[in-house]
Structure 1
Amino acid sequence: MAMKEIRSPRVEKSHPERSLLCEESIEGAFEDLMFAARKAGWNEEEVANALVNLAHDRWMSFQKRDRALHS
C-alpha cells in the first residue's frame, strides 16, 4: 500500500495558517501510517503514543540546535 501524497507548501513560511495547512497536507499519510501499524498488530493508543514521542524527540533536537546556534 502506497502512502498518500503529501502536498508541498503553497504559502510563505510567515503565513499565519501554514502550520494548519501542513497538518492538512500530512493527515492522509498519517492515517496510512496508523493503519499500517495497526495492521502489524499495534493498537491505536500504542501507535499514537509512539508518534507523539517521536515528534517530541524531533522537536527537542530542533530546540537544542537552535540554542546552540544562538549561544
Structure 2
Amino acid sequence: MQPIKEPREKDDYADRTLDCREAIGAKVQQVTEAAMHAGWTREEIKAAFIEIADHWKTTDHIV
C-alpha cells in the first residue's frame, strides 16, 4: 500500500483541507473496492462511512 501524501506545508495553509481530502481519497476508494469485493453494496458502504464520520465527530476514536 502506498503511503499517504504529506501536507505541502507544516503549518496551516489555504488548501490544506482539500489536500488532505485528496490524499486520503485514494485510500477510501481502495477500501470501497475491497468492501464491494467482499459483497457490500456501494450504498451500504457510503452509509457506513457517514456513520463512522458522524461518530468520530463526537469521540476521539473512529469506531
Task: Give the TM-score of the pair, scaled to structure 1.
Answer: 0.74
1:30: which partner in 2? 28
Where relative contact order (Cα < 8 A, 6+ residues apart) is larger, the structure is: 1
Contact 1:5–1:29 (Cα < 8 Å) also in 2: no
Q: How many residues align?
A: 60
Identify unmatched segments of 5+ residues in structure 2.
Answer: none
Identify unmatched segments of 5+ residues in structure 1.
Answer: 63-71
Inter-CA distance 43–5: structure 2 relative to 1 (3 Å threshold) = same
Bigger CA radius of gyration: 1
The percent identity for this pair of structures is 28
Higher helix share: 1
Q: Distance in 1 between matches of 2:28 and 2:10?
A: 23
How far 1:44 sits from its partner (Å)?
Answer: 0.3
Q: Distance in 2 between matches of 1:13 and 1:57?
A: 27
How far 1:10 sits from its partner (Å)?
Answer: 1.9
